[in-house]
Amino acid sequence: MENYCASGMDAFRNACMAVAAGMYECVLALGFEKLRDSGRRGLGTFGNHPVVGHGTTAPSLFAMAANRYFKTYGVTRDVLAKVAVKNHHNGTMSPKAHFQMEVTEEQVLGAPLICSPLGLFDCCPTTDGAAAAIICRADVARSIRSDPLLVKGLGLAVTSGEPYLKPGFAYTGFPATRQAAQSAYEQAGITPKDLDLAEVHDCFTITEILNYEDLGLCPPGEGWRYVADGRASIGGDVPVNPSGGLKSFGHPIGATGIRMIYEVSQQLWHKAGARQVKDAAIGLAHNLGGPGAVGCVTVLGNA
């Protein structure tokens, strides 16, 4: 499977569909990436036009989103720092995380700029990694273990490959995430308020704030307040990225979506240790692919 940053989760989705269709009884979904062998910093972009898009990178695209969000809702870089502080804190409780260190708001705001207003601690690291999940028929699963998890919703949406060139696109949210989430919620028969936790695509701190809004955890323009008020923290309304997210784990592209599913699974099995969300029963995993072009949302539940 190849689908931007949602490749791993889309592989998981296709494995689920193959089992649901009766084609196979048991499927392995594997995601991996040797990103540091790519010969480039992060993902970068390949130019399709001598002027349009020339020199664009992931930080530059999401920096546009941050600047537009600041201007639209009258907030500053301080709100981004709160996401970094939260996720780094959660990462200290994740033995498999790339970064396991606390940071302060002062450190985040004083770090070197990568692409204004995004600084070093606003960006996830360049990381190698792999993750895998096994999907099988419900009756087969119960013969293997007494506590299998149930796939309740699988949403995928694909929009323009270059949404930033689309007239009227405000970059204060991503239609692909909203559409994928709505599909997954409808399949699962839930609303965002029914979630116990969410693992979301925080490739940059601004992305997590936009994800709060696109996933329906709060209204548009309130994402910055959702993290500032502690509602996204472990013990909050719907904890977001209790693992530490991409900010702590990095983003080995093909592995990320399945790594999120692994974290949600640990939470639903109540095996997440110090980062455990109390009484977790329904969890969501979300990928945002490319420049906001692909949204993939998985809802899992325990028995």
Q: What's the burial of 39, exposed, middle or buried (CB within 10 Å: 0-12/13-18/19+)?
A: exposed
Q: Which residues contact 217 (CB under 8 A, 6 or more apart)?
A: 192, 195, 198, 226, 231, 232, 237, 238, 240
Q: Which residues contact 99 (CB under 8 A, 6 or more apart)?
A: 88, 91, 125, 244, 247, 248, 249, 250
Spatial distance between the Cα atoms of 225 and 299, rounded to a whole number of angstroms: 25
CA 159 to chain centre: 17
Q: Which residues contact 291 (CB under 8 A, 6 or more apart)?
A: 58, 61, 161, 162, 163, 164
Helix (H, G, I), strand (E, B) or coil at 87: helix
Q: Which residues of 210-219 are buried (b: 16+ CB within 10 A; e: fewer)?
A: bbbbbbbbbe
Residue positions annotated with a catalytic role? 5, 251
Cis peptide before 117 (omega within 30 of 0): yes
Spatial distance between the Cα atoms of 155 and 146, rounded to a whole number of angstroms: 27
Q: What's the burial of 160, exposed, middle or buried (CB within 10 Å: 0-12/13-18/19+)?
A: middle
Q: Which residues pair with 296 in a beta bridge?
A: 156, 287
Q: Torsion angle of alpha carbons 145, 149, 151, 156, nearest 10°?
A: -110
